Amino acid sequence: MMPEVEPGDIEHILKNTKVIALVGASANPARDSHGVMRFLQGRGYRVIPVNPGLAGKELNGEKVYASLRDIPEKIDMVDVFRNSEAAGPVADEAVETGAKYVWMQLGVINDEAAARARAAGLKVVMNRCPKIEMPRLGM
């Protein structure tokens, strides 16, 4: 099994990301994905929500897209708020659309998807949350 994440990768990813696609975005303020989206927006990131059920609507001031393929601009990081199994197709879409990083949230672990994304040149973080990592890193 590959190391979960190389030392320094998390800080590198967070410092070199401007546009994040948040897959599994929720309109429900009680959901973690909603809070993390607002947190990241508050830190200056552009966060594009991805949720087929909300596609075409607006969430936290951003248009919601059905899939990564529908987003008309370059994405730096794909933040995965889906279950571990669903993370596989999302990671493949991240590769296909030219993202640089795949970030799987707390509890989301898919070694096969991570290996495919890494083989395509992407950096991958699993089972972590940027809302926790940024304060830990003093960002």
Flag residues of the chain having pLDDT under 50: 1
For residues 97 and 71, is the Cβ–Cβ distance under 8 A? Answer: yes
In this predicted structure, what is the pLDDT of residue 15? 97
Q: What are phi and psi of 7, to 5 degrees?
A: -55, 135
Give how far Cα 86 sits from Cα of 54, 109, 133, Å.
18, 10, 23
- Give the residue from 122, 90, 118 showing the smallest Cα distance to 21: 90
Cβ atoms < 10 Å from Cβ of 16: 12
Sorted by where each begins, the domain ranges of the chain are 9-130
DSSP 3-state of 23? strand
User: Which pLDDT value is given to residue 5?
Assistant: 76
**What does the pLDDT read at residue 7?**
75
* Cβ–Cβ under 8 Å, residues 121 and 97: no
State the pLDDT at residue 3: 53
Q: What is the pLDDT of residues 84-107, one digit of tens each?
A: 999 999 999 999 999 999 999 999
Output the pLDDT for position 74.
97
Question: What is the Cα–Cα distance from 92 to 20, expressed in whole angstroms?
Answer: 16
* Cα–Cα distance, 139 to 61 (Å, whole number): 24
Q: What is the pLDDT of residue 47?
A: 98
The pLDDT of residue 6 is 76
The strand pairing partners of 125, in sequence order, are 103
Between CA 69 and CA 102, with CA 105 as vertex, the angle to 5 degrees is 40
The CATH code for residues 9-130 is 3.40.50.720
What confidence score (pLDDT) does residue 70 get?
98
